[in-house]
Amino acid sequence: MPSTLEGQITMEKTPSYFVTNHAPKRIHSMARDIKLIIVVRNPVTRAISDYTQTLSKKPEIPTFEVLAFKNRTLGLIDASWSALRIGIYALHLESWMQYFPLSQMHFVSGERLIVDPAGEMAKVQDFLGLKRIVTDKHFYFNKTKGFPCLKKPEDSSTPRCLGKSKGRTHPKIDPDVIRRLHKFYKPFNMMFYQMTGQNFEWELEEDSESRSSQD
């Protein structure tokens, strides 16, 4: 990490930190008063997105449905598959809570970050003790990508949008598999809500999907 002067904040991001067993201990030994920001989204959607990224690089891999189950007939989900294991947030958070108090962690809703990026960024700035400089005038929604883009309101420079690897169309997944995954994640999600004191309302998405499939 680079040296940080008075009045500066140094930031670094690596998604794999959250799910790497030895990361909490190493980070704590480096800077025990560090502030941690964790972005989470519905673990079912996250798993499909993860698979989509891998599929773009390795089109020969088996289908999502095949990889998600040890035995589909018996309904045995393969929680050792990394795309699914990462979404068991409560399990990973337990490791971090052995070294850091919740007061040093801030959880960002991936869903709300898309629909209300300024609102989520306001909370992040508050958590970091910064003035709310980034506001809604810094964002515009890119309909092609399905994500907000960052712009500088003071000039006419090209807005910064997510790269080519983001916003890919997800493959169509068997609705029964999605339902089974929601059921698998539900107890872990509830545990995660309890641990963080935040309700991310991922079960509402499940209800919405169920109604859509019945219409």
* Residues of the binding site for 3'-phosphoadenylyl sulfate: 41, 49, 166-170
- Rounded to the nearest 10°, the torsion over CA 59, 65, 69, 75 is 180
Rounded to whole angstroms, how far apart are CA atoms 113 and 69? 31
Beta bridge partners of 150: 139, 160
- The tokens of 55 are what? 């599929």
- The tokens of 50 are what? 């993860």
| Amino acid code (one letter) for 123 | K
Q: Does residue 91 contact residue 188 with C-beta atoms inside 8 Å?
A: yes
Task: List binding-site positions.
Answer: 41, 49, 166-170
Rounded to whole angstroms, how far apart are CA atoms 196 and 53? 28
Phi, psi of 62 (to 5 degrees): -60, 170
